[in-house]
Amino acid sequence: MKEIRLLSLSLKNFKGIRSFFLETNGENVRVFGDNATGKTTLFDAFMWLLFDKDSNNRKDFAIKTLDKQGNVLHNLEHEVEGVFCVDGKQLTLKKMFSEKWTKKRGSVQAEFTGHTTDYFIDGVPVKKKEYDELISNLIDEDVFKLLTSPTYFNEQLKWQDRRKILLQVCGDITDEEVIASNASLAKLPEILRGRTIENHRKVIAARRAEINKELEKIPIRIDEIQRNLPDLNGLYKDVLEDEIAQIDSFIETKKDIISNIRNGNAIAQKQKEIQEIEIELLQIKQQHEAGSKDEVYKLKARIQEEQSNLNILQQKIENISYQQKYNNENIQSIEKRLEELRNEWYQVNSEAFKHEMDCTCPTCGQALPEEQVEAARDNALKQFNLAKVKRLEDIQSKGKQSKEQKEHFVAENSKLDKEHEKLSSQIKEKKDLLSKLNNQLQAVESTIVDVTENAQYAAKLEEKQRIQKEIEELQVAANESIQSIQMGIAELRSKRSQLESDLAKFSLAEQAEKRIQELEQQERDLAAEFEKLEHELFLTEEFIRTKVNLLEEKINSRFKYARFKLFEQQINGGLMEVCETLYEGVPYGSGLNNAAKINVGLDIINTLSEFYGFKAPIFVDNAEAVTKFIDVNSQVISLVVSEKDKQLRVEFPEKQMKEAI
């Protein structure tokens, strides 16, 4: 256990205190003084010396002395010196705060340029760093503050920090420890399945809300189903089923009737009769036309044949006429030629010799001798006569030739004449024959009677028509009766579908009933689940209660007077972490009296001091509030209001007690 005791504290120009020397000699002291005599200032000085802050943990406070008007008195040295006993060794710390005045070059007056703080350890000036290091090696600032002021823990710390310190001091409790401590929580780990209590409570809350919502919906759904239930009043399932079966059999019967009508013998029989009659009609017609038709065909064939023979003859006779015409044309042209030859002959024959010759020599042009001229003339005559004979003979020969040709054509014509005569008589014969045959044909054709006039044929035809009419009538009748049966079927069917829809109401009702049962089951299941969740919720609450009790018990067991509330039950059933100091059930923050506040603070300091292994001087400001302090292990400097003490007065209670004893 480390211990620091204050031996003395001296103040110079500190917060208006010009000079004060508090000597404690490391013992408990009580400092008395009227209001505003500087009691609290002592504590401020102590804290400033160590941590640069006042007793309210403020850094910004007026150290320098102010006059009545609030003006700073300059050029003062503000100083605090503390003499401590640290684990039996003395330590002197001094801090001096002063103004800094510098003379600028050439200037007579010094100027205020700021502040300086000087640090001394055991009278030796040191750097701030060294000074601070010494203190921080001595004790952590936060811990020191906790240990030096009974109000610091409850009034300066945030609740979270208070809680943290308490848990640190007493040790937290694990969930396993909580569960192990309470048999009724045995099943909790199984329920949590790794979730934290808080998370599981959230899951339960969400599921409960869901279940509630579903539970609210179920009656509405059931009601809706019930409102839509079909009306089964006056309906009997068995009866409906029987009626439907009966209608089905009626419909079947009617369908049979229709198919009987459709396939009925009556019409088929009559159609067969018609086929037979048609065969008979064909036979009658063939018999009827048997004789007379043959004759007509024969005559027509003969006429056709003879006509074509006649055509051939006529063609031949025409050819002969063409030949004769051609021959006559030739004869005429030959005759014309003969006429011309005759005229030519007479002309040649009548020609006489004429001598008109040139009697000069063609070479020399001298007249020829007479005899020469005579001989030439004779010769010429001779020549002339010879040529004339020759020419006549030619003409004669040509005439003879033409005459022969003419005779040929004439002969041919007479031959053709005979042929023409012969053909003409043949043509006449053929024409006579044809007219005779045509007359015969006419006669035969006029004897043929139309089959329709055949009595047997007519009777059969009539019979056919009568049967056809009967078929038509039968068909009309069949269609009508089928139609009326079908109407009957349709009626039955509509009645059947009415019955069916009534019957369907039963299955609808069954389904609805089933659905209602399902919903009711669901309702029961949800209610059971809700109950299970309720139990789980109860277990989590039980867990929390157990944990709270365990933790608070554990923590409270470490304190004599102070009690702590670490959890607060919330409206939703959850627990909120808090940290409230109580004394005899009264919360520190609301309603606790000042004496209790101080004693509780001292109780806390005792425990913390134990935990941190450190004893620091405790400054109890406003100590007049307490008539009886609890036992405290550390040095206590009590600051007590005392109206009669216009100046601070120090008492050593233990010394007095000893003296008194």
Ligand X SMILES: Nc1ncnc2c1ncn2[C@@H]1O[C@H](COP(=O)(O)OP(=O)(O)OP(=O)(O)O)[C@@H](O)[C@H]1O
Q: Using CB under 6 A as the criterion, which residues of the chain lie in contact with ligand X when the complex forms?
A: 15-16, 33, 35-41, 62, 64-66, 641
**At closest approach, how far in Å is the CB of 640 from ligand X?**
9
| Pick 16 or 653: Cβ nearer ligand X | 16
CB of 594 to ligand X, least distance (A): 13
Q: Assign residue 193 a region: left if phi > 0, alpha if psi is -120 to 50, beta otherwise?
A: left
Are the C-beta atoms of 31 and 640 separated by less than 8 Å? yes
Part in contact with Mg ion (CB under 5 A); list of ranges 39-47, 284-292, 404-412, 554-562:
39-47
* DSSP 8-class letter at 74: P
Which positions ≥6 away from 527 have C-beta within 8 Å?
215
Which entry of Mg ion, ligand X, none binds 209, CB below 5 to 8 A by partner kind? Answer: none
Q: Identify what 606 binds: Mg ion, ligand X, none; CB under 5 to 8 Å per kind.
A: none
DSSP annotation string for 543-569: HHHHHHHHHHHHHHTT-SSEEEEEEEE
CB of 606 to Mg ion, least distance (A): 24
Task: Specify the pairing of strand 29-33 against strand 636-641.
Answer: parallel
**What sign for the dihedral angle of Cα 379, 384, 389, 390?**
positive
Rg (CA), the chain: 84
Binding-site partner at residue 634 among ligand X, Mg ion, none, CB < 5 to 8 Å by type: none
* Closest distance to ligand X from the beta carbon of 151 (Å): 13
- Cα-based torsion angle of the residue sequence 535, 540, 541, 542 in order, rounded to the nearest 10 degrees: 90
Burial class (CB in 10 A: 0-12, 13-18, 19+), 24: buried
The piece of 23-31, 40-48, 114-122, 572-580 that touches Mg ion (CB under 5 A) is: 40-48
Residue closer to ligand X by CB (options 24, 41) is 41
**Cβ pair 153, 146 in contact under 8 A:** yes
Q: Is the CB of 32 or the CB of 559 nearer to ligand X?
A: 32
Q: Could you tell me the two tokens for 427?
A: 């043509």
Complex with Mg ion: residue 54 or 580, whichever CB lies closer? 54
Least Cβ distance, residue 37 to ligand X (angstroms): 4
Instruction: Name which of Mg ion, ligand X, none residue 638 binds, using a CB cut-off of 5 to 8 Å depending on partner kind.
Output: none
Tokens of 345: 């002959």
Cα separation, 413 vs 325, in Å, equals: 9
Burial of residue 19 (number of CB atoms within 10 Å: 0-12, 13-18, 19+): exposed
**Judged by CB under 5 A, which of 39, 145, 547, 558 binds Mg ion?**
39
Least separation in angstroms between residue 117's CB and ligand X is: 16
Give the number of other CB atoms < 10 A from CB of residue 194.
Answer: 7
Our CB check for ligand X shows the closer of 95 and 558 to be: 95
Residue linked to tokens 């020599």: 361
Q: How far is the CB of 570 from Mg ion (least distance, A)?
A: 40
Least Å distance, CB 636 to ligand X, is 17
CA distances from 114 to 319, 391, 394 (A): 171, 190, 189
Q: Which is nearer to Mg ion, 42 or 188 (CB)?
A: 42
Tell me, by CB under 5 A, how many residues bind Mg ion.
2
Q: Which is nearer to ligand X, 143 or 641 (CB)?
A: 641
The residue behind tokens 């001394």 is: 120
CB atoms inside a 10 Å sphere around CB 413: 20
With CB atoms as reference, the residue minimizing the distance to Mg ion is 40
Residue 136: what residue type? S
The residue nearest ligand X at its CB is 16
Tokens of 302: 């003969």
Q: Which is nearer to ligand X, 238 or 643 (CB)?
A: 643
Q: Which is nearer to ligand X, 97 or 564 (CB)?
A: 97
The answer to the question of residue 40 lying near Mg ion (CB under 5 A) is yes
User: Please, which of residues 271-330 interact with Mg ion by CB under 5 A?
Assistant: none
Minimum CB separation of residue 3 from Mg ion in Å reads 26
Residues that bind Mg ion (CB under 5 A): 39-40
